[in-house]
Structure 1
Amino acid sequence: MESSAFSPVDLTLGDFLVKSEEEYKKYYASQENFFRTLLASPWVDVRFGCCLRGFTGGKVRQEAWEEMLAQVDPYLEAHKGAIHGVYLDLHGAMGVHGEPDPEGALVERIRRALGESVLISASFDLHGNISPNLCKNLDMLCAYKTSPHVDIEETKIKAFSMLLDCLTKNIKPTTHHIRVPILIAGEKAMTTVEPGKSLYESLSQKEQHPNVLNASIFLGCPWTDESRVSCCVTMTTISSEPPPELEEIARSLWDKRSEFSYPKDIKISTIDGIFEMISNDLQGLNTENKKAFHTLCDLGDNVSAGATGDITFLLEELIHWCKLKEMPISPGQEPRHYKVLTTIWDRELVEHCVGVGEGRNIKNQYIGRKSIRANRKESYCVELGTIKKFWENLPFGGKHVLLECFKCPLQNNTLLSVDVLLTQMRKAFLNERDFLDVNLLEYSLVILKGGYLFPKLQELSKGVVIYVETPGAVDPRLELLKWNNLQRPIFPLDTIESFLSST
């Protein structure tokens, strides 16, 4: 999971899905090749330990973290002496109150319980914040090489296969680490465009060396705001000495630090005037014929990076813009209907809507009561809305409600309506299936609480994609945030002439 230290909403154990072996397999059913790899070797007895699936958000409360660790300890004690290798499916950007390096502390705990002879391997998101202590206690690791992430299963397979291979050949590998003091917002460091593309492509070449088992570049998650937050380069090798390629990759990353930026084919905007800017695009898009929709990415409230997902800035700006343009529909004419969809996390409002019932109306209900703007009078209030549909018992937990919260006649004989997909659990909408049976092609505009579009969703949209730099727990304008725990100096917040000389 990714944590934002700037989120006002702490996470408890209730924000995690605790999964058994069968539940884990069912949750990741699409990763059948990974499970096939797990069970492929007849001489290996694979046992599932503790599995907690976390959602992105604020920092985890210390008592919840201690409860998680308490679930790990009995398993380690029960199998002590019988375990030869451990595989960990981690992310790397978790934040915990009172623990600056939770993943590092977890691996150190496992190492202390099982001893030096047991091999430990782990797979990570490339947005993990990897500490030297974590690498010291891991024998091997690998991270995604794609962002957007399309090699998740492939990375897990590699981490587990490395573990099996080293056990078979009696190899005790070493993981080397170089911190590269750079902060990067994820939307500026995609691997589909330069410089990320060539940097990550170079890793495969480095891995051809017989001494190198894996090479990874971690871009980090800046909003975790801990001393370990930074880019870094890691290499897992057979020998104990760091190879020269490790420093080569680190230098290449450092030399390209100023080149990271938003993709050139993406429009960039702030909130002010955003809907005036795209009004012509909306009017030129007839979803019935073109089967397409435009997309606004609410970067500062990006749920997948740790934001709350309930800030209503863009929704309010849209309502305000509509009211300025309001004009009666011409008598006897059928207006052209434009529909807008957005998502908001609001646990209490979901429960209220479910209690009222599908097809009924709600009145004077506030949206986003736990956001950064919580308890302020300007939070958006649904004066009258229709509950169109709700879903229960979702595989990722909680309920969803589809609510029509606003409808307004505009100039040029058009009618604009706004639907809000309310979620009980914070949810990142990355793929079409995340929207359940909501037909995105019925909408002219979709406002995502997210960053870059994943390939399948971008292919479906076919419209204009606009990144909107918004305030929030993961504001991409890093220079505007009040940092407390970063190891300084770090680019771009500080001027650094050289960094490898002190590594």
Structure 2
Amino acid sequence: MTSKPRIGIAGIAIESSTFSPHRTGLDAFRVTRGADLLARYAWLSGELGERAEWAPLLHAVSLPGGAVESGVYAELKGEILTRLASAGPLDGILLDIHGAMSVVGMTDAEADLATAVRAAAGPEALISTSMDLHGNVSRGFATAVDLLTCYRTAPHVDTWETRERAARNLVDRLASGGRPHKAWVPVPVLLPGEKTSTRLEPASGLYARIPQIEAREGILDAAVWVGYAWADEPRCQAAVVVTGDDAALAVESARSLATEYWRARHEFPFVAPTGSFAFCVGQGLASDRRPFLISDSGDNPTAGGAGDVSWSLGELLDDPAFSSGSTAIHASIVDPAAVSAASTAGPGATISLAVGGKIDPGPRGPVAMTGVVESLHDDPVGGRIAVVRCGGVYSILTSRRKPYHLVRDFTDLGLDPSTVDLVVVKIGYLEPELYELASDWLLALTPGGVDQDLLRLGHKGISRPMFPFDPEMDDPDLEPVLL
């Protein structure tokens, strides 16, 4: 190729729980186009950016949540296809997605998007995808694209590295010519991310093998997907894809990774000690380690939870320890009506509220609380935020769904996690800053749209047999398919 290849950039990225009653609307997405889309990728200003002409189409990304409204997906997909058609001939597409998007009325949204992009771009264009390892790779999706890669760490500290790798693989392949072979094999295991963290074995060892395989002559990329446990769709399961020019080596490598994953299925531990919420609170209060963090894992908004399940807040408010000297921060409940009432009352006012349980009622519905408005804040993600103290419980109420992953998420509100007995966070595994902050930590098995106890969620649409739903199932056929 004598001239620079022309590469379009597009994607719709969200992780969606079909077990959450939350629905993701257009206002949940941050949509970028044109120069703003190009500015999203720092590596475009360097050597990689100089090797191609990059055509920004449309990228939309949302905090995880419930299934995307069908009309919203149709609108975003339609604009991508329209912009693709008007961009002129493209040699390649960088498809920057998550891989676990659910859309109301669909069972494989990413395959639908990739197939549509393929049809619009034409059969000669190469499509390279960057994905989360918690995404899903159906045969239909893997067939529609040419190059696939995903994160190799959980918690994800290599997100931008993965996007750059997907882009570099694409540029390199356009320069050298030809399509690589894809060895794809689904693995009938569906585990939550909190059981497959690369901080621990066996996931750490499994993912450590990927760069070694990738370094082999004839291999371009190797990737292992855990899959997304909180959507009830046939594509939800682990998968391995190895791409390369040596078809036999790609098949051998994919088979080896898939077999190792299957053999280790019983060995994946939770990333922290677990228990009921009451057990975790009791352990935390009895401990002398501070700060002591508890993950309210069932309503984690960064896994797709609604963010307003009131179970853990209600448990804290009912616990007499917090009316007799013990203290806790609860982060958080999304409830715009409660925030509005707190804002109207103002700091220092005592107010009575019915908090949470309005998107996802859970087992409690809205929780009654009477407390003092400690402070009010405006946040670019959470919108208007109120901190309401009820006894020793500092409850963070937001007008929009917001994750609490950083120390400054608390200190910006005038809260110091190190000065209270417990910090309860709607999260699964702790993100790096909170992981470093925690003197001790427990994972509470709480209810919600991303309940860690998969067996009580009631999956009906996944392919069976599937581990752990069918623990005595026979060994599956793990022979890779060349696509």
Same fold, judged at TM 0.5 (above):
yes
3-state SS of 2:444 partner: strand
Q: Offset at 1:448?
A: 0.8
Task: Write out aligned runs for 1:388-407 (5 A).
Answer: 388-392=375-379, 394=380, 396=381, 398-407=382-391
Q: Residues 238, 379 of structure 1: CA spacing in aligned structure 2 closer, same or farther, 3 A cutoff?
A: same
* Residues in 1 aligned to 2:456 and 2:37: alpha-carbon distance in whole angstroms: 40
8 Å CA contact 2:352–2:369 kept in 1: the answer is yes
Q: Residues 364-392 of structure 1: CA distance to partner in whole angstroms, max 9, x if unpaired?
A: 21111424327x87631222331412114
Q: Secondary structure at the match of 1:48?
A: strand
| Distance in 2, Cα, partners of 1:354 & 1:67 | 35
Q: Quote the residue 2:467 is aligned against.
A: 491
Report the CA distance shift for 1:75/1:469 in structure 2 as closer, same or farther (over 3 A): same
- Quote the residue 1:361 is aligned against: 349
Which residues in structure 2 correspond to 1:90-129 (within 5 Å)? 90-129=97-136
Amino acid at match of 1:482: G
Contact 1:126 1:218 in 2 (8 A): yes
- Contact kept, 8 Å, 1:140 with 1:159, in 2: the verdict is yes
- Cα 1:130/1:212, change in 2 over 3 Å: same
Alpha-carbon distance between aligned partners in 1 of 2:368 and 2:421, rounded to the nearest angstrom: 23
Q: In the alignment, which residue of structure 2 is the partner of 1:17?
A: 30
Who is 1:71 aligned against? 79
Given candidates 421, 426, 430, the residue that maps to 1:444 is 421
Structure 1: gaps of 5 or more residues = 286-291, 328-335, 408-416
1:49-448 alignment to 2 at 5 Å? 49-81=57-89, 83-239=90-246, 242-263=250-271, 266-281=272-287, 284=288, 292-322=290-320, 326=323, 338-357=327-346, 359-361=347-349, 363-373=351-361, 379-392=366-379, 394=380, 396=381, 398-407=382-391, 417-435=392-410, 437-438=412-413, 439-448=416-425
**Structure 1 residue 318: Cα displacement:** 1.4
Distance 1:232 1:165 in 2: 25
CA offset at residue 160 of structure 1? 0.4
Specify the code of the residue in structure 2 equivalent to 1:146: T
Cα distance in 1, alignment partners of residues 421 and 36 from structure 2: 37
Relative distance call for 1:234 and 1:318 in structure 2 (3 A) is same
Q: State how many pairs are aligned.
A: 463
Could you say if the C-alpha distance between residues 259 and 61 of structure 1 is closer, same or farther in structure 2, counting changes exceeding 3 Å? same
Could you state the TM-score of these two structures normalised by the residue count of structure 1?
0.86
Distance in 1, Cα, partners of 2:143 & 2:411: 43
The structural deviation recorded for 1:249 is: 0.8
Query: Aligned residue for 2:8?
Result: none
Amino acid at match of 1:345: V
TM-score (norm 2): 0.90
Q: 1:244 to 1:383 in 2, by over 3 A?
A: same
Are the counterparts in 1 of residues 37 and 58 from structure 2 also a CA contact under 8 Å? no
**Structure 1 321/172 Cα, relative in aligned 2: closer, same or farther at 3 Å?**
same
Q: Distance in 1 between matches of 2:309 and 2:186?
A: 34
CA contact (8 A) 1:353 1:401 kept: no
**What is the Cα deviation at residue 434 of structure 1?**
4.1
Alignment match of 1:481 (pick from 457, 460, 469): 457
| TM superposition shift of 1:338 | 3.6
Q: What's the CA shift string for 1:133-178, capped at 9, x where partnerless?
A: 1111111011000011111111111100001101111132233210
Residue 7 (structure 2) aligns with: none
Whether the 8 Å CA contact 2:185–2:478 is kept in 1: the answer is no
Specify the alignment match of 1:289 in structure 2.
Answer: none
> Which of the numbers 466, 477, 481 marks the counterpart of 1:500?
477
Q: Is the alpha carbon distance of 1:215 and 1:436 closer, same or farther for their aligned partners in structure 2, counting shifts above 3 Å?
A: farther
Distance 2:428 2:328 in 1: 22
CA shift at 1:465, angstroms?
Answer: 0.3
Matched position secondary structure for 1:75:
helix
How far residue 102 of structure 1 moved from its aligned partner, in angstroms, is: 1.0
CA spacing shift, 1:406–1:41, aligned 2, 3 Å: closer
Q: 1:53 to 1:475 in 2, by over 3 A?
A: same
SS of 1:49's equivalent in the other structure is strand
Q: 1:22 to 1:354 in 2, by over 3 A?
A: farther
SS of corresponding position for 1:422:
strand
- Take 1:301 and 1:208, find their aligned partners in 2: how far apart are those partners? 40
- Taking a change above 3 Å as real, the CA distance of residues 197 and 75 of structure 1, as seen in their structure-2 partners, is same
Instruction: Measure how far apart 1:2 and its partner are.
Output: 1.1
Contact 1:135 1:176 in 2 (8 A): no
Q: Retained in 2: the 8 A contact 1:56–1:426?
A: no
The Cα of 1:403 is off from its aligned counterpart by: 1.5
Contact 2:333-2:396 within 8 A present in 1 as well? yes
Q: Closer, same or farther in 2 for the Cα pair 1:117/1:455, shift >3 Å? A: same
Q: Which amino acid aligns with 1:489?
A: P
Separation in 1, partners of 2:21, 2:106: 18
User: What are the Cα deviations for residues 338-376 of structure 1, in whole angstroms up to 9, with x where unaligned?
Assistant: 44342111133233333444x1425221111424327x8
Distance in 2, matches of 1:25 and 1:62, equals: 27
Q: Quote the Cα distance in structure 1 between the aligned partners of 2:111 and 2:405.
A: 28
